[in-house]
A and B are shown apart, each in its own frame.
Chain A
């Protein structure tokens, strides 16, 4: 029996666009994962605390405001400090191609941009968790 994959879906920063985050959360839930959604306006500290407390294997973050280069690395840095770097961290939203290498260097395993199928995200999680 395989353990259920636990996922935290989070919205860091002040951005209020959460259609994508919610659609992904539902799709992961429909795929049999246990999903917790943080709601809007989470600080990196809050996200990391929730991820550790909920003992998740996957953290999905979505930003459409352009603050990803600032906020995503802050989260991965804090995860490191909490000895939680084993959590698979994924990013999504309006993120220019050029920014993706920088984010990957900073611990974001994969970045999913507009037009991504939720199936691709599910497959990626199953293969990498």
Chain B
């Protein structure tokens, strides 16, 4: 190294002279997350990193290079486009379109009333029905949503959290009607309530009963739906709310620790449920920082599961994750430029070793995406998969001085945060105190200030602007959707066996008051008698109460 030290010193002196004459573009170069970036990375920056212990081989601890030994040479990532709007009928058509276009898995977007456990005819649902996703009020809607889609052939991801147990129960019931047994079902429910309190906002119940519902699902699925990913611990929304890359890793894994701890406290064995935990991350614009982030997340989770929780099964140590490109980077200005941003973010996710990916559409800063825009987004993944060459070898950026040193730095920053959160008493306590929300908000505000001072350039927003016509042909959800959903509910309520519904809801109410009781089978019974989502959630609201957030600025 001494020769390298000498050469580095000499190089430093030479560059110092050059830059006095011709200064660099900026005094301080930073990543997308505002982290300092050196001019040059050399073996000096990675000399403390041990290949075997810190990086290792793909499919082996600590999984820095990926969770499978052959990665995309074996099978490409799952191209999974998040979709859903208006009614079950219209969303079903969009899913069939996506499957025809080569989408490999479904990803269901629910409207806000569904996500917050209100039926379409609830007063608070007014104006929101079918807007950001599909409206599901009962099993009847779910039957239409998956009509003609064989549930033993597709894997389905559902972005549902507070009422996740209800939607999973509906999915199991639809499968049963198709003749598909629960053990054949593959998919994911988001089921991550902690990040709802932190960043996404679709909570219903307070933390304690929410954590119970989550562990009930872990326990039920371990026995009955063994191929189902029971939670998708999400950094995506934390990042969208404005966090840095290291904060995204830190707060997501801190949430993960809380779920594992809750399940252990409920008496479950770590290796029974940990293999079904999955994660969900954001892919932002800073390509290299993002690649380092994904690698850091994998490495740190493996270490946590092994050292903190004593997990034995290699599958318990693997951080598998879904990625979505960053919605917050899309601009309403010159929307076609978003195609390029999404392409860069796709590269980051793939070079970071994602298991599945949703690519955003160019028009999402304006409205829900049109079919044309969705097709381009999917084609972006297909071009990266089949034409770019990055999927042909495992973890191609490993060994880059910059990537390895940044991976290491993110691990350390995230560990520091997790230590702080542990001192506060874990993620739920840190959320209750507003600590995590405050840290994210500080980053978000800094980011906005940087854009306004132009120390951060966003093409088309604060530089390279043009006068443009407002975009035409945006997708709009017909307000009549709300009327149609309301009619469906009233006809359902007159068709079904209402005494069976009441009976099932009474049983659920009783079980809700017995903390030892697993609510999943009772929710499944209620769903099968066509109790509505709102009715089921109302029973739980009565018994569990509702979460009231403290507004922090």
Contacts and interface: CB of A to CB of B under 8 A. Distances in A.
Interface of A: 13-19, 22-23, 25-27, 29, 35, 37-41, 43, 65-67, 69-71, 94, 96-98, 113-115, 117-119
Interface in B448-494: 448, 451-452, 458, 461-462, 470-471, 474, 476-477, 479
A27 B449 CA distance: 9
B112 A13 contact: yes
Interface in B26-44: none
Contacts of B113: 14
A70 B126 contact: yes
Nearest to A11: B201
Contacts of B462: 117
Contacts of A29: 553
A43 B118 CA distance: 15
Contact of B452 (A35, A38, A117): A117
Contact of B331 (A25, A38, A115): A115
A22 B553 contact: yes
Contacts of B240: 17, 19
B264 interface: no
A18 B201 contact: yes
B452 A118 contact: yes
Nearest to A40: B201
Given A70-B126, A113-B332, A115-B461, A14 B116 contact: yes
Interface in B106-156: 112-113, 115-116, 118, 124-128, 131-132
Given A37-B551, A115-B331, A97 B470 contact: yes
Contacts of B196: 16
Contact of B242 (A16, A19, A65, A69): A19
Contacts of A119: 452
B470 to A, nearest CB: 3
A25 B444 CA distance: 12
Given A19-B328, A65-B112, A115-B333, A25 B553 contact: yes
21 contacts: A13-B127, A14-B112, A14-B115, A14-B124, A16-B200, A22-B445, A23-B444, A25-B553, A27-B445, A38-B551, A41-B201, A65-B131, A96-B367, A96-B470, A96-B476, A97-B471, A98-B470, A98-B474, A113-B332, A114-B365, A119-B452
Interface of A is mostly: loop
A13 B128 contact: yes
What bracket does the count of chain B residues touching chain A fall in? 35 or more
Given A19-B242, A23-B444, A23-B445, A65 B366 contact: no
B444 A19 contact: yes
B549 interface: yes
A65 B132 contact: yes
A26 B479 CA distance: 34
B441 interface: yes
Given A66-B367, A67-B131, A114-B331, 5 more contacts: A13-B127, A39-B551, A41-B124, A67-B128, A118-B452
A39 B367 contact: no
B471 A39 contact: no
Nearest to B460: A115
A49 B409 CA distance: 49
A22 B444 contact: yes
Contacts of B199: 16
B445 A26 contact: yes
B127 A67 contact: yes
Interface string B322-336: 000000100111000
A66 B452 contact: no
A43 B132 CA distance: 18
Contacts of A97: 470-471
Contacts of A98: 470, 474
Given A25-B553, A65-B132, A70 B127 contact: yes
Contacts of A65: 112, 128, 131-132
Interface in B360-413: 365-368
A22 B553 CA distance: 6
A69 B478 CA distance: 12
Contacts of B452: 117-119
B324 to A, nearest CB: 15
Contacts of B115: 14
B241 interface: yes
A35 B551 CA distance: 12
A117 B461 CA distance: 9
Nearest to B476: A96
Contacts of A94: 332, 365-367
B201 A17 contact: yes
A103 to B, nearest CB: 13
A27 B451 CA distance: 13
Given A67-B131, A114-B331, A115-B333, A15 B201 contact: yes
Given A19-B444, A23-B445, A98-B470, A43 B124 contact: yes
Contacts of A70: 126-127, 479
Interface string B287-310: 000000000000000000000000
A20 to B, nearest CB: 9
B550 interface: yes
A66 B365 contact: no
B230 interface: no
A109 B365 CA distance: 22
A85 B462 CA distance: 34
Contacts of A25: 553
Contact of A118 (B202, B332, B448, B479): B448
A55 B249 CA distance: 42
Nearest to B442: A26
- Nearest first, the 3 closest Cβ-Cβ pairs linking A and B are A16-B201, A70-B127, A39-B551
A22 B461 CA distance: 20
A23 to B, nearest CB: 5
A9 to B, nearest CB: 9
A23 B448 contact: yes
B262 to A, nearest CB: 23
